[in-house]
Amino acid sequence: MPSNTTSSVFFYVYVLESLKDGKRYIGYTDNLKKRTEEHKKGLSFSTNPGLPFKLIYFEGCLNQDDAKRREEYLKSTQGRRLLGLRLVQYQRQKKTFGTGS
């Protein structure tokens, strides 16, 4: 008999942008809020030099393997191009109003 419960676990692929130098960091996690707070507090070796960071994009996946695969894709040249297209409005707004917070 099928279960009436469904898993509420999501895996998030996310993009952070450094407010210091504009560089982007792409990662994945099962707890987006906790992970972004860790980045903001400097607890991640890979993003610590670019502090402060701002969350500019995320996607949700139902499967960890899908999230890992998506993270790898977004880190590729083609994936970065896709992000550029997905974030056109964000980039325009940033140019108009500055980086802000």
Can you tell me the distance from the alpha carbon of 5 to that of 8, in angstroms, rounded to the nearest whole number? 9
- Which residue, among 97, 91, 32, 66, has the nearest Cα to 74 in the 3D structure? 66
Predicted TM-score of the model (pTM): 0.84
Whether CATH 3.40.1440 fits 11-97: yes
What does the pLDDT look like over 10-64, one tens digit per residue?
Answer: 999 999 999 999 999 999 999 999 999 999 999 999 899 999 999 999 999 999 9
Whole-angstrom distance, CA of residue 24 vs CA of residue 8:
28
Domain residue extents for the chain: 11-97
- Determine how many CB atoms are found less than 10 A away from the CB of residue 29: 19
Helix residue spans in 1-101 (DSSP H): 32-40, 64-75, 77-86, 88-97
pLDDT at 1 over 50: no
Structure tokens at 5: 């419960």
